[in-house]
Amino acid sequence: MTLVRYQNTVPNLFERLFNNELEGWNRNNFSNTNTTLPSVNIKEDTDAFYVDVAAPGFEKSDFNIELNNDLLTISSEKQVSNEIKDDEKIAKQEFSYQSFTRSFTLPELVDDEKISASYKNGILSITIPKKEEAKPKPVKQIKIK
């Protein structure tokens, strides 16, 4: 008698929940060079969303950030080559391209006119402010007459 391992082909509810991004964030990711995609952390507070992209070894000028309607796309293409000295013979030389694209669908509650980005210590940080009407309002006390 042969034992056959049962394999469930129906996605588990928990797997579906944790494999999908929350709060309307959708991602389309690809790398043309079979390199690892940069990791991304997304945080939220009452004022904004914060996207941090781990991309060490890049320069500010290597990044391109575009907003097309509600799709925020972060991309980079960087060519790296090893410099060969005059007295060296080249037996084989390979160019390395580090490129990636990460896309996120922004919720309607963001103020796309105030999106800002900075790059420091290998982290590309993007701040996506929320519209004023999307921010929670403070508790208001109403006097009884």
Q: Within a domain: residue 87?
A: no
The pLDDT, as a whole number, for residue 93 is 57
CB atoms within 10 A of CB 51: 22
- Asked if the structure places residue 47 within a domain, the reply is yes
What is the C-alpha separation between 125 and 51, in angstroms, rounded?
6
Q: Structural domain of residue 113, as residue ranges?
A: 26-82+93-134
How many separate domains does the chain show? Answer: 1
Residue 142 resides in a domain: no
Q: For residue 21, tell me if it sits in a domain.
A: no
| Cα–Cα nearest to 97, from 75, 122, 80, 83 | 80
In this predicted structure, what is the pLDDT of residue 140? 87
Instruction: Specify the pLDDT at position 20.
Output: 46
Task: Tell whether 52 is covered by a domain.
Answer: yes
CATH number for the domain harbouring residue 60: 2.60.40.790
Question: Which pLDDT belongs to residue 17?
Answer: 41
What are phi and psi for residue 100, nearest 5 degrees?
Answer: -160, 165
pLDDT score, position 23: 39
Block residue for tokens 């992209």 = 53
Backbone φ and ψ of 45, nearest 5°: -130, -170
| pLDDT per residue of the chain (145 residues) written in tens, 0 to 9 | 445 444 444 444 444 444 444 434 444 454 555 556 788 999 999 899 999 999 888 889 999 999 998 899 999 887 665 566 667 776 665 555 578 889 999 988 899 999 999 999 999 999 999 998 877 888 888 899 8
